[in-house]
Structure 1
Amino acid sequence: MTEATIANEHSFIARSLWTATANPSKAYPALVGEQACDVAVIGGGFAGLSAALHLAEAGVQVCLLDAETPGWGASGRNGGQVVPGLKEDPDEIEARFGPALGGRMIRLAGNAGTFVFDLIERLGIDCEASRAGWIQPIHSEAARATVQRRYDQWRRRDAAMRLLDRDETADLLGTGSYLGGMLDQRGGNLHPLNYALGLAEAAERAGARLFAHSRALRWETTGDGVCIHTAQGRLQARQLLVCTNGYADAFSGAIGRTVVPIRSIQVATEPLPQNIAASIFPKGHSASDTRRLLHYFRKGPGNTFVMGGRGDYSQTGTERQFEVLRKASVKLYPQLESVGWRYHWGGNVAMTVSHYPQLLRVDDRIWAATGFNGRGVAMATALGKVIADAAQGVPETELDFPVTQVKPIPFHFMRRYAVMAAVSWARLRDAVG
């Protein structure tokens, strides 16, 4: 393993395990001069790369612009857990959106993990993909009832899931700290940066043109489409797909104000001795527990251990939370007490008020996909395909996700204060169970 860090990032959140273990990647050119295409995609994360791939495979001329490089943002920094489903459970989704649209949303979200793994297999992406399954460990009796309802609703829809008692949860996690758990066999884990790099290469093979270090500065509508300006060039397109998610800047305008970026962070150990590695997730699962400020954890490349959770906006606060995660890891796995912690990094997760991802329509030429609420590996990939369908003219009534208008969050400029207050409240509620 190398000591590579995330380029052009604050040093205190740049020492990423995924960057240190990334596959060699292609250097994509910057956009220079005049270019034209049918569809322009802004953002080289999972949603944008999936959209570009599926458009190119359909014969659409597509160009993708990224301010840095494909996978630079949250797509190359997250925990690599492939988690099916949405934050709300199936009955709530159908009650909110009706049986027809709600049913399509449930199928899309429930099958999103399978969609990712099938895509990886079809494209031959080297990203350590494992369909071992995803576990939701239960940390309290109140959470047990929530998980039971979730399990019952998905099982009525024939989802491949199992409830685990305390002993089986302990066997699969390697810790007896939880009361039980739910195993979703549709999920699993992967190397997130290598997955993003693989999607980029596959999109280019299919005919997409990818441009790195090409920050989109502004757009303007023209008679026959949209013109996107960068520092060194212009891109003329018939349609524009904005997929910047938690890294939206001034270019995204009101689209970026529909989500709140929250820093999620991770720590990882040096490679573990074989006896310790064998005692943690012996069958290769990954887990995200039921706390409001959840912990998500797994083994990573080279028998490392990875723990993630909520970060902070400041360097001091983030470094404090890194230590909180290390201590939480040792509490779960005392055998980690003597190992070294080599990596610590973070990135922006885009949260929505509704806790649902958003498929936004600005007008006939401009769409956006954003707000994956911490489940971006599966849902961003799946919604990238949906926004590609929309760009190809599939009617809104036939899409597998609802189309909404852009509605910025009121007082968005105060988002950091609101987030800090919400985090403090959630932390208190977790402490009292």
Structure 2
Amino acid sequence: MTPPRPYAGNGEHTTSYYAASANTRILRPALTGDQSFDICVVGAGYSGLSTALHLAEKGHNVAIVEGARIGWGASGRNGGQVVNGLNASLQTIERRYGQDTATFVSGLVMEGADIIRERVKTYNIDCDLKPTNLFTAYTDAHMRELEERLALWRRYGIETQEIVSKANIRDYVGSDVYAGGMIDHAGGHMHPLNLALGEAAAFEQNGGTIFEMSRVIDVCYDQPNPVVKTAQGSITCKKVVLCGNAYLSHVVPKLTARVMPVSTQMMATEPLSQDQAERLLPTDTCVEDIRFILDYFRLSADNRLLFGGGTVYGGADPKDIEAKLRKNMHKVFPELKATKIDYAWSGNFALSFSRVPQLGRLNDNTYFAHGYSGHGVTGSHTFGRILAEAIDGDMSRFDVFARLPWIPFPGGRLFRVPYSMVGSWYYSFKDKFGV
């Protein structure tokens, strides 16, 4: 088979602040020849790393095959915000799937953040992990939404959040644009690429093997022992786990239509003075507003403002990322109008139509997880643990998610982008006019 055009250029990380400040640049070898492992994980992002590390800790013989560098996709480019919950609210899950499913989901929405904190502590991962995250509201309608969310989560026994009034919002963010907010003391933020690199090292400490720069061109899973093929080699295994998410592309056609790549953009300012950094974010929390097309921002360890937002359905990169984001940053922080931008980058996440992540099997030996819809930092860590449980023999939590129906995008692959754009315009209109 002729390998398709490389999806990742030369496979090196994008020119992001995260890549420039990565702890290590060790390059693992590419997959060559025909090799055998008990389990092969496709993708060295958070889903793949979480699954593989949990399995390696249980004593399984596991290899990860990555088409570019570790954390090359969303796991190494994201906002670095540790946000509890799924994109779809507990209220939505309750309405769609029933009380039992909502109760089940409520029991694991905090798990991903706990896994991250445990990994950082156990393996001494240097990723600038800091506590708390803040949701901000622009309107009174947004505040009512946050109050309803707080009440719902408390009904399910989750009590880590509290409302921040308009009078007190400046204690957390030095801006006059917000009507208030809600802080989650169990959230946090970190350097996402360094977290991925640290988890990769932990996996190898537990006997795991990683192949980088080894794009998968075919997965022969409809046989007793699946074979994962790259241009230069193959792995025969007993189980395969597909964790390519937004970048799996057409390698496994059955999964292609289930999710849609969506790009979001980020930029990093030049380092700010300590006084300015404390003025913008006095408690060093991370922030995201609750609009449909939201902004999110936080401080890096060296006091840069990392500011992100925007979406492009289909996964294309904007021509001028800085121009796209600067207007929103200046709206929140007018004092940054003369501040230099040192880095700007874009990356894709995988959107599911239901906004609920998808977990399942194509057959008895082929597992997958994808579609975190912008909440992949915590969700991928949780789903990685659940995948590992299932492969190790405990299907109880896996089966709950695997039974949930997935909803195709209206119009199929051809019209999913324009359909989603129309929906985006509608919700942006509601955000703008507070309706």
Query: What TM-score, normalized by structure 2, do the two folds share?
Result: 0.92
SS at match of 1:264: strand
Q: CA 1:405–1:142 in structure 2 vs 1: closer, same or farther (change >3 Å)?
A: closer
Match of 2:3 in 1: none
Cα contact 2:390–2:398 (8 A) shared by 1: no
SS at match of 1:319: coil
Cα contact 2:356–2:373 (8 A) shared by 1: yes
Cα contact 1:82–1:188 (8 A) shared by 2: yes
Cα contact 1:105–1:401 (8 A) shared by 2: no
SS at match of 1:193: helix
Structure 2 unpaired stretches of 5+: 1-7
Structure 1 unpaired stretches of 5+: 1-6
How far apart, in 2, do the equivalents of 1:20 and 1:90 lie? 38
Match of 1:148 in 2: 147
Match of 1:300 in 2: 300
Match of 1:136 in 2: 135
How far apart, in 1, do the equivalents of 2:336 and 2:320 lie? 19
Q: CA deviation at 1:123?
A: 1.6
C-alpha RMSD of matched pairs (Å): 2.4
Match of 1:416 in 2: 417
Q: CA deviation at 1:33?
A: 0.5
Aligned partner letter, 1:142: A
Match of 2:110 in 1: 110
Match of 1:425 in 2: 426
Give yes or no for the alignment of 1:42 onto 2:42: yes
Match of 1:57 in 2: 57
Q: CA deviation at 1:317?
A: 7.3
Give yes or no for the alignment of 1:72 onto 2:72: yes
SS at match of 1:251: coil
Q: CA deviation at 1:114?
A: 2.1
Match of 2:183 in 1: 183
Query: What TM-score, normalized by structure 1, do the two folds share?
Result: 0.92
- Stretch moving more, 313-322 or 155-164: 313-322
- Stretch moving more, 106-115 or 415-424: 415-424
Q: CA deviation at 1:181?
A: 0.4
Q: CA deviation at 1:279?
A: 0.7
SS at match of 2:425: helix
- How many percent identity over aligned positions? 32
Match of 1:204 in 2: 204
Cα contact 1:240–1:367 (8 A) shared by 2: yes
Q: CA 1:9–1:103 in structure 2 vs 1: closer, same or farther (change >3 Å)?
A: farther
Match of 1:86 in 2: 86
Q: CA 1:353–1:170 in structure 2 vs 1: closer, same or farther (change >3 Å)?
A: same
Match of 1:393 in 2: 393
SS at match of 1:136: strand
Deviations 1:137-165 (A, max 9, x none): 01112211111110011123132111000
How far apart, in 2, do the equivalents of 1:55 and 1:314 lie? 33
Cα contact 2:268–2:342 (8 A) shared by 1: yes
Mapping of 1:240-251 within 5 angstroms? Answer: 240-251=240-251
How far apart, in 1, do the equivalents of 2:423 and 2:41 lie? 33
Q: CA deviation at 1:258?
A: 0.4
Aligned length: 426
Deviations 1:188-219 (A, max 9, x none): 00000000111111111111111001111112
SS at match of 2:226: strand
Q: CA deviation at 1:398?
A: 6.5
